């Protein structure tokens, strides 16, 4: 949060993603391209966290080598988090979750279904609610209505 000071320079009390320099009351500049968050200290500030799709290697942000990877660490060839509704497999691939699945632990099992769908354990997949006039089924029970549109 910054305001104009009497001398016309910005004086800040809080910065987003970058540290506040207590001596100048200005937000420090990250010295690393593709850096999301910097460490306080010297100027330019060393990187602490990289933008999506990059990994922190020796305080520099390097592109992740796995296609569809959102985050990788010291080894840019090993993915730790994938973009979208995909899951990491052995750190070397991002594989989409099953159809209708918002999040999964592996490509065959869903941990969270997309809106308006419910996980059917018998079929091991996300399915629409089977109760006519039902807006929301009980989690993991496509045959039990939680919220009905019937009046």
Domain assignment present for residue 116? The answer is yes
CB 3, CB 14: distance < 8 Å: no
Identify whether 119 is part of a domain.
yes
pLDDT over 90 (residue 7): no
**What's the confidence (pLDDT) of residue 67?**
95
* Nearby residues of 142 by Cβ (< 8 Å), 6 or more positions away: 118, 120, 127, 128, 129, 130, 131
Does a structural domain hold residue 80? Answer: no
Asked, for residue 15, whether it belongs to a domain, the answer is: yes
Which of 73-77, 83-87, 93-97, 116-120 shows the lowest per-residue confidence on average (mean pLDDT)? Answer: 116-120
What residue numbers bound the domain in which 142 lies? 98-151
pLDDT of residue 144 exceeding 70, the answer is: yes
- Residue 66 predicted with pLDDT over 90: yes
Rounded CA gap, 39 and 99, in Å? 40
Enter the pTM of the model: 0.67
| Mean pLDDT calculated for residue range 96-109 | 87
Q: How confident is the model at residue 6 (pLDDT cuts 50, 70, 90)?
A: low
Of the residues 30, 47, 64, the one at which a domain ends: 47
Mean residue pLDDT of the chain comes to: 82
Q: How confident is the model at residue 3 (pLDDT cuts 50, 70, 90)?
A: low
The number of beta carbons lying within 10 Å of the beta carbon of residue 16 is 7
| 81 inside domain | no
Cα 53 from Cα 149, distance rounded (Å) = 42
Instruction: Tell me if 56 is assigned to some domain.
Output: no
Total count of domains within the chain:
2
pLDDT at residue 120 in the model: 78
Judge whether 30 lies within some domain. Answer: yes
In the predicted model, is pLDDT for residue 4 greater than 60? no
pLDDT in tens, 113-138: 887 788 877 777 888 888 888 777 77
């Amino acid at each position: 949060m910054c305001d104009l000071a009497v001398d016309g320079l910005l004086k800040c009390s809080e910065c987003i993603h970058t540290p506040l320099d207590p001596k100048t009351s200005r937000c420090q500049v990250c010295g690393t391209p593709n850096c999301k968050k910097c460490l306080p200290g010297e100027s330019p500030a060393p990187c602490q966290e990289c933008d999506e799709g990059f990994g922190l290697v020796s305080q520099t942000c390097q592109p992740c080598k796995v296609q569809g990877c959102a985050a990788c660490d010291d080894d840019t060839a090993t993915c730790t988090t994938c973009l979208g509704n995909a899951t990491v497999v052995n750190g070397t691939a991002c594989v989409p979750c099953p159809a209708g699945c918002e999040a999964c632990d592996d490509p065959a099992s869903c941990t969270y279904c997309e809106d308006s769908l419910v996980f059917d354990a018998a079929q091991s997949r996300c399915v629409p609610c089977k109760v006519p006039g039902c807006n929301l089924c009980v989690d993991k029970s496509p045959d039990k209505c939680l919220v009905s549109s019937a009046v």
